[in-house]
A and B are shown apart, each in its own frame.
Chain A
Amino acid sequence: MSMAADPTRPEYRAAGTDLSERRRSGVSRGALLDVAAPAGVEPTPDGGLRLGALTTIAALAADPAIRAGYPGLAAAAAGLATPQIRRMATLGGNIAQRNRCWYFRNPDIACLKKGADACPARAGNALYAVAFDSAPCVAPHPSTLAAALLAYDARLDTNQRRDAPIAEALGDGRAASAETALRPGELITAVALPAPASNERAFYKRAIGRAHAEWPLVELVLRASVEGGVFAGLRLVAGGVAPVPLRLQAAEAAALGKPATATTFAAAAAAAIEGANPLPQSRYKLDLLQGLVLDLLEQAASQG
């Protein structure tokens, strides 16, 4: 079963760490177009950074300016996939990669994102499905970097628009043939980060069964500033739970201006699952999400 989207339009290929597997299995066919875009990290006049779409994930994780100013992004980059993948895979490809649902990835099964009219996971085996069920397809968004970039208010340049907020490019996850709101033929060329905040800490963590190298059941990026023992700034973005990376605004509100204590952590964790509507099989993800919120808030409060 090949992808229905538009067989005449070539699919971009950056490093191929996602695409090659789909082509080997036959899930994706059609023409290829190798991405031409910059690689590397450069400062911008406003004090931020500009990341070329072909920058590798390993380069992001190792970059001194990213580690200093955007530690949540550096940690997310260092914590995803495997070292071999990080050495090849690119920033643009990571944002635009296709989902990892086992129905989608199986060449013998038809699904919404391959042109069929229903999501077989919804009525089938939804062990790894979303817990915030807001789109016809129940696959969680795969991109770890998208979650981190959303936490840092990144903006994208593409061959079709300039300076678009990443939330706009990611969309609402309802698109039929992609996991982003990129338009047909739209190519990410660069990602811009605003000037880093001062007095801030940031963390990234994923809940997985094994020690390493496993797709996250749930993942969380947290930015926090604590002033006088009180949360003065807070940003929480979760992956693995929704069709697009999910900003946990209720949790942020529950902790903002509150003392960095266990009571506040618990209130934020309770608020983190506000609005959740899991499938019966994916309910456990809410517990993991709460666990991650507790864990990272505790870390944010204890360091510094």
Chain B
Amino acid sequence: MATASVNGRTVDLPEDDEPLLLDVLRDRLGLTGAKLVCGAGVCGACTVLIDGAAVVSCLMPAKAAAGKTVTTVEGIGAPELHPVQRAFMAQDALQCGFCTPGFIVEAKAFYDEWRTKHGAVAPSREDIGAAFCGHLCRCGAYDNIYRAIVDACAGAYDRAGREAPRLGARDKVTGAAVYTHDIRHEGQLEGVILRSAHAHARVAALDLSVAQRMPGVKAAVSLLDASRTVTFVGDPIAAVAAADRETAERALGAILVQFEALAAAIGPEAALAPGAAVVFPRGKGLKYNAGEGGNSPASWNGNLRGPVSAFSLRRKTARKAIDAARAANDPLLVEGVFRTSAQQHNSLEPHVAVAHFDGEDLTVEVSTQAVSALGAEIAKHFKLDPARVRVLAQHVGGGFGSKGAMRFETIAAIELAKVARAPVRVAFSRHEELSVAGYRPAVELRIALLPARDGSLSALSLTAHSDAGVAANNTVAGLARLIYTAQAKELLDYDVISNLPPGSPFRGPGGPPMAFALEQAIDEAALRLGQDPIALRKRWDANPARARLYDWAMGLDVWKARTAPSGEGRYRRGVGVAAGYWLYLWQADTKAELSVIGGRLVASLAVQDIGTGTRTVIADTLAREFGLDPSEIEVRLGDSKLPLGPGSGGSRVTASIVPTLLEASAKLKARVQGAPAAGGNAPWRARLAASPDLSVIAGRPADAKRNIYGNASLLHEAGIVGRLFGWMLRFQQKLAVGAGAPSSVQVIEVEVDTWLARVRVLRAWSGIAVGKLAAPALARNQAAGAFYQSLGHALYEGREIDSRTGRVLSVNLDDYRTPGIGDAPPIEVHFEESGFDHVPGGSVGIGEVASVPTPAALANAVRNAIGVRPQEIPIRPDRLLALLKGAAHVDGR
């Protein structure tokens, strides 16, 4: 039998031709450090060393390893960490950590070779960009990855030393962290989902019996609801669990389905065409919600839902002013149509759930952004006693909004586990991940912006048509109410329903598309008024925190050196700016338990760390309170049985848990002081050590009444409707919208190659106002990552479909193009730490606001470079060429 040496151990290789090395490592040898993400050689998450050379194990036949040495991440850093592992930890070169094992393996080989050839000198950004182009990080930890590799090669980590600022980093750089995707229980079955090949059909007959009887098949269940209607290609029909994936997939082929095809409308254009098939007549049958709130009431007209106009301000006045300006050919009236593409979340860990019943007790391990809420949702959906449902998520490989609610991986795993009476794992393939797992809806935005003669903002009209397939409830235009003061605003939101997979919330839902239109219109207005675009924003924007960011941005050398487009030469440079905000949300029913156990401080709450650094926020907050080192604190999370915590969405985690932990700290201190073993004035470390075991539970205290905004909630700025909306959120979801707005102002410098139609981002500056930084060492990473991800949307990322069949075509990572390390420009992150002093602890979340202005800032930079305004993202080469050609004359302003 052929053998290989895997991490120094001789192992037998399968005789069989088929198995791939990655599957053997993960499934037969239990080495789950290498991850399966794309299965196509693009992302590098599965990278291992073969005789010292880094290759992708997802494409390598296991047989081909015969007689070779295989080193996985588990074989690096034992017994002592490799310098690159130390560097990744110390420089915080990771967020969710799912890409990290692949990067570490490549980095080890790179470092070893670099040091042999060059000695302890730093490689260039270009060297690293080229060498690591076979690795993708969806969280965008690229800037710190650069630093880690540079410093490691330069010798800064040859000896052990600096600690990692991120809790759990060691497990992520050694491959020890177990994600849901890595879980392998004894007797665990693999579940797969049968999906509709039709965009719209009724399932007349479904026969699972043949599949059920196939050898190795342990369960086959229907996933249809009472309507028995499928409304998009990929809509789930049934699921099968078997001992392995191949058997389960074969069984899918044995399921007999009879479809009655129904007329379909695919894509917004077809959906609005006269005579189009109506997907949900008057909304009947609508199931999916693309927004984060409850479905708001709206009127229906065929496939058009809306308008929702509640956030308008003197709507008719706005309309009249703009119509009059247009009739009078007012040169100050800025009008345009802008389009943003559907952006896939593409978390590197796919949607995955492992469900098992123990009698009546259900445990679901799941890659989720919301352990607490998901536990409740499961209990409700399956009519189970909530006390007997437990949701676990220790490590989560990214979410970005797509893992906020119960989805079919979870439903299918539970249904199958119920029948099979065994643990069942359902994991989405990358194909499923990039087609049916949610996406940021595409939007068409029609904008008209009218400055008044006196230089104030007279009227704004923004109409958004969101394309979220079979999902509704998008708020895009409405978001323009809460930034810039105008005399009147007409803000209309429509959903265009069609037979495409459902869109879902994605990092700052609606924010980047809204800003893409609004911030370009403002840029255009500044050009026409002959004013500095930042100064104009400052004039129209009443937010005090953003005012400070504008001052910072105006002071940047790159901004001061900005020139008008020349219209000449192959390479043209430009600089652009844009602003953005997000809501400051907090979960009002958040609780935390703080205990002393055996002299050690233990924090317990049902939150999850999806790469956002929640563990670290908790530990850092308590460390400051008690004068401890963060590593001395035990953080328990990722378990719905713990005291209720917020979901990782809406940037609400930090603002919910920090005040709660402070409250809990105060309570605990009182108890420890009052306890008999109290040590007088001794430091807390000593007092805790001497304390008997005890514990306290605290809730989220309210914010201070007084704040610099003069309002209890940002929503109050939207008048009575805003108050009503705020009240609904509080009532339905226990979600509070506080005063102030997390804000961001970004400046981007680009170079456009007019021959090869490529936009290269040279440098970026991201100014962020989110109050005091709860975990300062991680904040920069989070801000830079959000920027890179949004840059991907601006330049490369767009879902592509076949408009006849409704199939998604961009279902692999070759065709769905996300930024690589070579696309990540150097970024300077500037924090304005004031503005949230009314929040206990003074901190709110960064994750969403840091991505809002990016596409607009990029587009403004391209406009400044070439004199023509991009109206559609991603700004792909074909679109850039059209812009360059369409520019009969270049506008030299």
Contacts and interface: CB of A to CB of B under 8 A. Distances in A.
A124 B803 contact: yes
Contact of B133 (A106, A125, A213): A213
B133 to A, nearest CB: 4
B854 interface: no
A83 B592 CA distance: 47
Contacts of B756: 207, 288, 291-292, 295
A68 interface: no
B351 to A, nearest CB: 18
Interface string A76-104: 00000111110110000000000010110
B878 A85 contact: no
B24 interface: no
A125 B811 CA distance: 14
A125 B801 contact: yes
A120 B64 CA distance: 36
A183 interface: no
A217 to B, nearest CB: 6
Contact of B39 (A24, A123, A208): A24
Interface string A95-138: 00000101101101100000000001001110100000000000
Interface stretch (A9-17, A148-156, A170-178): A9-17
A25 interface: yes
B804 A123 contact: yes
Contacts of B81: none
Contact of A125 (B800, B812, B820): B800
B134 A85 contact: yes
B106 interface: yes
Contact of B814 (A87, A106, A215): A215
A20 B804 CA distance: 30
B796 A82 contact: no
Contacts of B131: 83
A84 B809 contact: no
Interface in B569-615: none
Interface string B354-370: 00000000000000000
Contacts of A102: 800, 809-812, 815
B17 interface: yes
B129 A210 contact: no
Contacts of B41: 17, 21, 81-82, 84-85
A210 B802 contact: no
B795 interface: yes
A72 B796 CA distance: 28
Interface residues of A, number: 49
Interface stretch (B47-55, B288-296, B498-506, B533-541): B47-55
Given A83-B134, A284-B877, A88 B55 contact: yes
Contact of B796 (A21, A210, A284): A210
Contacts of B878: 127, 281, 284
A23 B817 CA distance: 22
B822 A211 contact: yes
A158 B736 CA distance: 71
Contacts of A21: 39-41, 59
B17 A32 contact: yes
A211 B133 contact: yes
Nearest to B885: A287
B806 to A, nearest CB: 11
B445 to A, nearest CB: 23
A106 B801 CA distance: 12
A127 B800 contact: yes
A28 B18 CA distance: 12
Contact of B802 (A124, A213, A288, A295): A124
Contacts of B819: 210
Q: Pick the most buried of B130, B811, B814, B878: most chain A CB atoms within 10 A of its CB.
A: B878
A123 B809 CA distance: 14
Contacts of A83: 54, 106, 130-131, 133-134
A16 B881 contact: no
A212 interface: yes
B796 A15 contact: no
Interface centre among A21, A84, A105, A124 (most CB of B within 10 A): A84
Contacts of A209: 758, 795-796, 817, 874, 876-877
Interface string B129-143: 111011000000000
A210 B768 CA distance: 27
B44 interface: yes
Interface string A140-161: 0000000000000000000000
Interface string B181-216: 000000000000000010000000000000000000
A45 B58 CA distance: 41
A81 B40 CA distance: 12
Max chain B C-beta neighbours (<10 A), residue from A207, A209, A291: A209
Interface in B353-393: none
A210 B54 contact: no
A84 B807 contact: no
A103 B808 CA distance: 10
Contacts of B757: 207, 284, 287-288, 291
B814 A84 contact: no
A284 B881 contact: yes
B60 A16 contact: yes
B129 A212 contact: yes
A103 B809 contact: yes
A63 interface: no
A213 B134 contact: yes
B75 interface: no
A214 interface: yes
B56 interface: yes
A15 B803 contact: no
A125 B807 CA distance: 11
A186 interface: no
B164 interface: no
Contacts of A212: 129-130, 133, 820, 822
B809 A106 contact: yes
Interface in A159-208: 207-208
Nearest to B23: A24
A20 B59 contact: yes
A207 B17 CA distance: 37
B101 to A, nearest CB: 14
Contacts of A34: 17, 61, 63
B332 interface: no
Given A15-B60, A16-B61, A207 B815 contact: no
B431 interface: yes
Nearest to B130: A212
Given A209-B877, A210-B817, A16 B54 contact: no
Nearest to B61: A16
Interface string B779-822: 00000000000000001100011111101011110110101101
Contacts of B431: 25, 106
A75 interface: no
Interface in A199-252: 207-215, 217
A73 interface: no
Contacts of A120: 802
Given A84-B56, A288-B756, A109 B807 contact: yes
Nearest to A78: B130
Nearest to B134: A82
B882 interface: yes
Given A15-B64, A83-B54, A88-B55, A217 B820 contact: no
A167 B397 CA distance: 47
10 contacts: A16-B61, A85-B41, A85-B56, A108-B197, A209-B795, A210-B823, A211-B760, A211-B822, A291-B757, A295-B756
Please provide the 9 A-B residue pairs with the shortest distance between their CB atoms, ordered closest to farther. Answer: A82-B134, A211-B822, A212-B133, A291-B755, A284-B878, A213-B133, A20-B59, A102-B809, A84-B134
Given A24-B39, A26-B249, A215-B814, 19 more contacts: A13-B17, A17-B59, A21-B40, A23-B18, A25-B39, A84-B54, A87-B53, A102-B812, A103-B809, A106-B811, A109-B802, A209-B817, A211-B133, A211-B760, A213-B133, A284-B757, A284-B877, A291-B755, A294-B755
